[in-house]
């Protein structure tokens, strides 16, 4: 897990600069977990998909203000450090 977190920190740093490939890697890495979590909360596949889209849209829009050191703190054990700040 530590290796993944370090790799994700580097991807977030790249994302901040507008690197679309880094964004895509983060999206691919987290979308399924976020979808499953969202589905368990809203019980609607359509709404769960919308949540995933909204979260990643906000991440892209707010990429310039992301702070990698705050995204991956110990309290993010749920596996969703990126959207903890949204």
Domain residue extents for the chain: 2-85
Q: How large is the average pLDDT for residues 4-18?
A: 88
Q: 2-85 in CATH: which number?
A: 1.10.1740
Q: List pLDDT tens digits, range 13-30.
A: 999 999 999 999 999 998
Q: List pLDDT tens digits, range 35-44.
A: 998 999 999 9
Q: What is the pLDDT of residue 83?
A: 52
Q: Record the tokens describing residue 41, joined without a space.
A: 């909360």
What is the Cβ-side half-sphere exposure of residue 46, based on CA atoms within 13 angstroms?
A: 0
Q: List pLDDT tens digits, range 53-85.
A: 999 999 999 999 887 777 666 435 555 555 554
- In this prediction the pTM is 0.78
């Amino acid at each position: 897990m530590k290796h993944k977190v370090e790799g994700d920190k580097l991807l977030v740093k790249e994302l901040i600069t507008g690197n679309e490939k880094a964004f895509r890697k983060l999206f691919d890495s987290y979308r399924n977990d976020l979808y499953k979590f969202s589905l368990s909360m809203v019980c609607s596949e359509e709404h769960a998909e919308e949540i995933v889209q909204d979260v990643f849209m906000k991440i892209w829009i707010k990429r310039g203000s992301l702070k990698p050191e705050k995204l991956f703190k110990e309290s993010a054990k749920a596996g969703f450090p990126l959207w903890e700040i949204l």
